[in-house]
Structure formats: C-alpha cells, structure tokens
Amino acid sequence: MASTGHRKYYRLSDLSRSIGRMIEKYYTKKYWVKAEIAKLNYYPKSGHCYPDLVEKAEGRIKVQMRATIWRHHYQAIRRKFEATTHEELKSGLQVLFLAELKYDGVHGLSLNITDIDPSLNLGAMAKEKMECIARLKKEKIFDLNRNLHLPLLPKRLAIISVSTSKGYQDFLNILDPVKTKYGVFHMLFPALLQGDNAIPSIIEQLHIIERVKSHFDAVLIIRGGGGDVGLHAYNNYDLARTIATFPLPVLTGIGHASNETVSDMVAYKNVITPTELAYYILEKLEGFEQFLFEVQDSIVQMSRYILETNKKQLEFFKQGIFLKSRNMLQAQYAQLASFRQLLPHFAKQRLRTEQQAIALLTEKIQLLSPENVLQRGYSITFHRGKVLYDASRLKEGDEISTQLSGGQTVKSVVKSGSEE
C-alpha cells in the first residue's frame, strides 16, 4: 500500500494479487457447473478453446464468464461428448462441466474446464426425442408413411443427399451397374445432412419432391461417410412430421447403428447404411426378376403337362372313335343285309297292296261313270254344248238337249224361263 498527500491507495497489481491469493485460498477444488455456451470460440490452429459462458433468466443474460479449455482437454472432451450424444460440442448448448476457478492479472477471472458430463445433454435430447414421438402419436401420424404402399418395382427414386457424400457414392456403386438392366431412374436433390441446418434443408427438398411426386416411386434420404455427429437433427419434430406425412414412401440410410432417430422410426423403411439401402432396392428388383423366371418355368412345365395330358386324351378319343365307328359300320352292314333279305318280300307285299287299291279305285270309277249313272235313270242336260247346272240361266226359246241311257238324246225348247 502506498500514500500520496492525505490519501492511501493500492496499486492495481496489489489488488489483483490479493484477489488471486483469495481465490487460491478459498477455491481450492474443482466444481461441477451448469451453464450455456454462448460462443464456443475454438481455434483450430492452436487447438485451444475459449468458451463464453452465460446463465439466462427470462431470456436475458444473468451472469457471464469466460472459460478456457486447453488443447489436450478439449480433444478428449469433444470425443467423449460426440460419442455419447452423437452431437457436436457447439455454441448454444447447455452443458454440465467440471472446472477450477482461475484468476489472471491480465485476463481476469475465468473457469478452466477439464471435463464435461454429457449426461445432461443426453437426458435433454432423450426427453426431446420422447416428446417428439409422443406428439406424433397423439396427432395419429406416427405410422402414416409406414402404412404406404411401396411399388413392387421401385425404379424411380428421388434421393436426398450430397453429391460428395461417401454414402451416396457407395449407394451408386451398387445400383448404377444394374441401372440399365432394370430401368432404374434416380435424381439427386442436394441438401445439408448434418447439424441444425440439415432440418430446413431436408424439409425444403421434400417439399420440392412433393410437387413432382407423380414422377417418383419413393424418396431416399442417404447420409454416410462421417460419424454419428449431428444425428439429433433427425429427432426434430418438424422434420419427422414432414417425413411421416409425406405422400411417397421414405427410406432412410443415414449411416448409424447405435441410435435410431425419430425420422427413422416414422419412415417407411430404415436401414443402417446407404450400402444396405442400395441392396434393399436391388433385392426388390432381383427378387421380382427371380419371381418372373420361376413363373416362366412354371408356365413351361404346366404347358408341357397340359400338352402331354391332352395328347394322351386325344389318343384315347382316337381309339374310342375308331372302335365306335367300326361298331357302327358293322351294325349298319348287318342292318343293310337284313334289309336286303326282306326287301323282295316287302316289295311284293307292297305291290299286292297297291294293286288291290288300284282295282278298288277302278271299280269305284266305273260305278261313277256317266253311262252307269244314266242306266240308273238319270239324264244329262246340255245347253249350248255344256252341261247345264243352273236352270235360272235359261230363257224362253233356248234349246236344250237331254242325254239318256243308251246314247239317246232328246232336244227341247224352253217355253218359259226365270228372269233375274
């Protein structure tokens, strides 16, 4: 302490050293602290990290403090955090960290972070994930996409990925060699696939595909070639809802095995990797091809069986027709022989019958001849050479002749006649 005139004062360095000694005396251990990383401030060149920590209340910063994470601690903390949460250590996260209080005369008060417990973040993400699932189920849309019908031959594929993605290239390496054979068409709709920006990017591409949905059989979301960092974006409600309500089947292969996201759950089909997704499509195509081969073999075998059966049946019918025809011919020959023997007898009998009928008719004709009729006392009257049937036609003075039996003829003159 120094003085000038009547005032005593401390040098700034004295005050700084006093604060440092107090902190070293009373803050001798490490403390678990919960705070938000307002800004991570990671410097790749040095490997050190200088987070700005804040605590907020009602949207306003209540407390703010600087922190340091030295390079050897940062690398271990980052690997542990990402392996546990499948998320990047980044700005905006609430974290639970182990730190010791440090004071430096130049840089002031700060927290030296040596560890981070990712269970806080894991619990928050798990809670968000469960809330998302419950909300989708409450809205009765959780199973909508899974209940859609995937065509028997899914050949028109809309792919959401990045052209430089290793997973996308793995997918093409499997499917493109058979692309022409099976008539497969695929189109890339590029989107960000990792981090918070992946959410609006994927949703935007899904909306674009929806406008041309008649051109596609299914949508494939392919992500690969990296770690599991950034997967929490696929638990986002807006993204999961867009997938669940999408009018085409959505198939996901986003390259992870340890954690099934909500987007995977609501998708029509979820596989672990893009490679497996390519094989899934290929199995559909090859399976149908094999089915066609089996159907073809069945048709050939059935056709052969039908032809062989019909051939035997025709042979049986042929023998039956031959035998039946021969029996019919023999029966007809026998009947003709019998008719040949009976024909003279039937002819003579028929001739006698006809002769008797002719004799009877001759006798009747003779009895009814004019001569025989005249002999029974009848006569025939002629007028103008024609037989007279109606006397009303005669007039006074008309001459008529009457023929009697024996050929005698009597001529008469009409004295009176009947006038019409």
Query: Mean pLDDT across the stretch 91-109?
Result: 84
Q: Which residue has the tokens 């909508």?
A: 144
Q: Give the chain's count of helices (H) and strands (E).
A: 10, 16
CA 155 to chain centre: 12
**pLDDT value at 132 more than 50:** yes
**What is the pLDDT, as a whole number, of residue 4?**
65
Backbone angles phi, psi at 252, to 5 degrees: -115, 140
Pick the more confident residue, 38 or 149: 149
pLDDT in tens, 289-345: 888 888 888 898 999 999 999 999 998 998 889 889 888 998 888 888 888 888 888
Share above pLDDT 90 across residues of the chain, in percent, rounded to a whole number:
34
**What is the pLDDT, as a whole number, of residue 212?**
95
pLDDT in tens, 45-61: 999 999 999 888 877 88
Q: How far apart are CA 401 and CA 20, in angstroms?
A: 185
Task: Kindly report the pTM of this predicted structure.
Answer: 0.57
Compute the residue count for the chain. 420
Nearest to 62 by CA among 95, 103, 100, 34: 34
Domains observed in the chain = 12-117 (2.40.50.140), 140-286 (3.40.50.2300), 372-413 (no CATH)
Which residue spans within 237-366 are E strands per DSSP? 250-253, 269-271
Res. 257 pLDDT band, cuts 50 70 90: low
Residue type at position 152: L
CB 278 within 8 A of CB 157: no
**pLDDT value at 229 more than 70:** no
Query: Mean pLDDT across the stretch 178-202?
Result: 89
pLDDT in tens, 181-192: 888 999 999 999
Query: Mean pLDDT across the stretch 353-363?
Result: 88
Tell me the helix, strand and coil percentages in the chain, rounded to 5.
50, 20, 25
Share above pLDDT 70 across residues of the chain, in percent, rounded to a whole number:
92
Pick the more confident residue, 230 or 117: 117
Q: How far apart are CA 270 and CA 279, in angstroms?
A: 13
Res. 420 pLDDT band, cuts 50 70 90: very low
pLDDT in tens, 341-357: 888 888 888 888 988 98
